[in-house]
A and B are shown apart, each in its own frame.
Chain A
Amino acid sequence: DVKVTQSSRYLVKRTGEKVFLECVQDMDHENMFWYRQDPGLGLRLIYFSYDVKMKEKGDIPEGYSVSREKKERFSLILESASTNQTSMYLCASILGGRNSGQPQHFGDGTRLSIL
């Protein structure tokens, strides 16, 4: 089974802090994603990466950056946390290329609260 592991289930940080969210997958997937999920807004893509050291902005990249130094690990960074970044953050991965419709797999999520 595919395993996508997020480092924390719950996290509380203060405004202005630099916050790191870590995600690891064990299936040698090329593509990895960071989403946030908010009530009434659904899932929104922040960033994705299709290879080591490669990244693409999603729909809402402002205030975030990412790092992909190793294939299995994709980190989301909140440069200076603000209260409007309080949310559920979801990491996902999928096999790259034309993958015959293989599904995207998600981690359990990190519920981040910025005070």
Chain B
Amino acid sequence: DAKTTQPPSMDCAEGRAANLPCNHSTISGNEYVYWYRQIHSQGPQYIIHGLKNNETNEMASLIITEDRKSSTLILPHATLRDTAVYYCIVRANNAGGTSYGKLTFGQGTILTVHP
């Protein structure tokens, strides 16, 4: 699976958009970009994923560059409850073997939303 690079920490004011970047310059054509977040002492929460096109759901938007070497997770109106560690993961949709489905989390970005 491709390696990802994220800034270690970011701040955001409550009510403003939080834009979290992720670099994945070695991404392959069959690899998806996934975003999860983890609030202290809880399990990782799935946010959104995409392959090529930009995606939006009730939680966030995902913008993937045309060359797919980077992406941005956008929380349009951050709240205090969005304070968490955000993980960007790139994984192929392979079947079989121990690599299938296994997720590798990097260090992620600690997002702090302040009043």
The SS class assigned to the B binding surface is: loop
How far is it, in angstroms, between the C-alpha of A104 and the C-alpha of B45 when the chains are bound? 9
Of A42, A98, A101, A105, the residue contacting B32 (CB under 8 A) is A101
| Count of residues in A whose CB is under 8 Å from the partner chain | 31
Contact at A33–B102, with CB atoms within 8 Å? Answer: yes
Residue pair A103, B34 in contact (C-beta under 8 Å): yes
User: CA of A59 to CA of B99 in the docked complex: distance in angstroms?
Assistant: 10
Q: Tell me whether B93 and A99 are in contact (CB under 8 A).
A: yes
Asked whether A101 and B49 contact (CB < 8 A) given A108-B43, A109-B43, the answer is yes
Contacts A31-B101, A42-B105 given: A101-B51 contact, CB under 8 Å? Answer: yes
Report the Cα distance A97→B34, complex, angstroms.
18
Tell me if A42 and B102 are in contact (CB < 8 A).
no
Query: Which of A35, A48, A88, A105 has a CB less than 8 Å from the CB of B98?
Result: A48
Cross-chain contact A57 with B106 (CB below 8 angstroms): no
B: residues with CB less than 8 A from A are 32, 34, 36, 41-46, 49, 51, 93, 95, 98, 100-107
